Structure 1
Amino acid sequence: MSNGENGLELGGGYAKPRGYDTLGSFMSSFPETAIFRRFGALSAQDLLLRQAELADLEEELRFYQQEDRDSRHVDRERYAVSWDTLKQSVDEDAKDGNDSSQLKTLLIIREKLKDYQDALIRHRQTADLQRPVPGQVKALNEWMERPSMGNVFLQGVDRNLWRDPDFDDLASLAPPPVESNPTNGYTLALIQLYNKLVRIYNSLPWKPIFVRKIYPLKPICAPNLSLLAGSIYTY
């Protein structure tokens, strides 16, 4: 098997590699393979920048509030205790001496603060997502690379996301509950034993005729194992 210009060479023919649509459909059918990057560092950096922006706006607001309190103006002195007076500071017919800087800054902060808090909650929720087990990532990668299965070969900077994974930055939307479900553990052990026997069988210089006639022995991997155990594992 070799990479060709238009696909993968398979016995003289070519199977065009598939992409995001095939991978997305597979993840939808087998949620255990829905493994994505958290982009934790980028998310934290975004929060830091939003935080810095809000801190700057907060300092501006405190400055305007103090100026209004010290203004000796009948309306501006009441901004801190009367929303109606503060709200009217932007009106075209506001009395001379009114200053709308405090209200305008408050309205900017309101929008920025909402976005910041939403981002903060999303960051926390993403951080709480469980990491995938190595078997999940390996099984997904094997399915993608096998021409007889996914034959998915991405060409962008994300092409090695599952091949050379950073597990600390990966999130699994459906992690296998091995600890909480002993059946999955037993199934995994059985599959591993079966695959070990298959490797031994395939290494034999001769094959028993009755086995060849019954069924050609092949290792079990995703998605077959998902159907058996309810979770993606690999040998």
Structure 2
Amino acid sequence: MTGAASPSSIPFAAGPNLGTAFADKHNKGFPLFAYLMGSSPRTAHLRRFPSVSMRLLLLLQYEIQDLENRLLKLDPKESDTRERETSSSAMDFRCLKGSPEQVKILSELKLKCKEYEEAMLRFRSLAASGQDEYLIRELQLWLNRPEYCDQLLSGIDESIWGSPEEPDNYMPDLIQLFPSAPEGLFARLFKGPVIRFLHRTILYRCQGPDTYYTTDTLDAVVSVISVVITSSIIYLAIGILLTAQSRLNQLLTVFLVTAATTFCTGVFGNEKFTVAIATLAAVLVTLVANNRSSKGQ
């Protein structure tokens, strides 16, 4: 984003209602900040501490490997007699009762392996989580506005979410606890480079140096653009099929429109676009069928 705006000039998305008696019970600072994020769960962003989690995983891996080595050393070796071999714990787990040290190690392994596997699953799950930079900017505004946190955070974690003066200076491992639906390529490009370019070239001249746009507003704009494009494809296909005189032109139209809609499906990744694609397919099939029947009469 380009230059930071003053807090009073930033178009702030309506946050939780602070006029309630319950909200007034929360002191400015972390108590009120926690209340705000709890009241608007989509804005909640916390660190996942990947390096710390990986260190703990490596420590658990070391502890399990050490227990495994100790267990292997305690396994009975080849017996001199068939009777001793068949009574070994390698053949019958009931014989473990005679080896309390093995039982102890196996009990430790059972707990450690469970902890290790759960930690791996948590790490994989959190690693797949993303962040919403525009909602992080809303958090920065909450921390800055006088009626909210009023820049009162002063602990070692005060800079986790960045600030309006340095909007990109938040911790890179922040993750959104309640992520939005996955976005298509167009939405990601529009919310990033496109909106910044438009702001620098057009919007800056119209409304001042405000670089913060709410997620809901951008989602609405992306949705409108995708609907307009899909509608245009549908009406273009209808017009061409109605005026096409040869079977070759009709087939070529169907092929080109199918290719265009397939490309747009990957670019937009929008549910409304999927519905429009289904509608388009039905229209194309209907028109081709009607055209064939009219020519056959």
Taking the aligned partners of 2:207 and 2:149, their CA distance within structure 1 comes to: 23
Q: Following TM superposition, where does structure 1 have runs of at least 4 consecutive aligned residues deviating by more than 6 angstroms? A: none
Q: Percent identity?
A: 24
Relative to total residues, which structure has the larger helix share, 1 or 2? Answer: 2
Contact kept, 8 Å, 1:71 with 1:77, in 2: the verdict is no
Q: 1:144 to 1:29 in 2, by over 3 A?
A: same
Question: What SS does the aligned partner of 1:36 have?
Answer: strand
Residue pair 1:22, 1:152 contacting (<8 A) in 2 also: no
User: Hey, what does 1:21 align to over in structure 2?
Assistant: 31
CA root-mean-square deviation: 3.7
Report how far residue 25 of structure 1 moved: 2.0
What do the CA deviations read for 1:77-106 (whole angstroms, capped 9, x no partner)?
A: 4211212222xx2xxxxxxxx432212111
For structure 1, the 5+ residue unaligned runs are: 1-15, 90-97, 201-218
Alpha carbons of structure 1 residues 125 and 51: separation in structure 2 relative to 1, 3 Å:
same
1:128 has 2:128 as partner? yes
Is the 1:132–1:170 Cα contact (8 Å) retained in structure 2? no
Structure 2 residues without counterparts, runs of 5 or longer: 1-25, 163-168, 221-297
Provide the aligned length of Structure 1 versus Structure 2.
183
Q: 2:175 aligns with which of 166, 171, 176?
A: 171
Give the aligned residue type for 2:94. Answer: D
Map 1:20-99; keep pairs closer than 5 Å.
20-67=30-77, 70=79, 74=84, 77-86=87-96, 89=97, 98-99=98-99
Relative to structure 2, which stretch is displaced further, 191-200 or 31-40?
191-200
Please report how far the alpha carbon of residue 131 of structure 1 lies from its aligned counterpart in structure 2 after TM superposition: 3.2
TM-score, length basis structure 1: 0.62
Write the mapping of 1:145-160 to structure 2, written as runs, cut at 5 A.
145-151=144-150, 153-160=152-159
CA distance in 1, matches of 2:153, 2:203: 32
CA displacement, residues 32-88 of structure 1 (integer Å, 9 cap, x when unaligned): 321111100000000000000000000000000145x558684894211212222xx
Q: Is the 8 A contact 1:76 1:99 kept in 2?
A: no
Q: TM-score, normalised by structure 2?
A: 0.51
- Tell me which residue corresponds to 2:289: none
**Partner SS state of residue 21, structure 1:** helix
User: Is the contact between residue 142 and residue 148 of structure 2 (CA under 8 Å) also seen in structure 1?
Assistant: yes
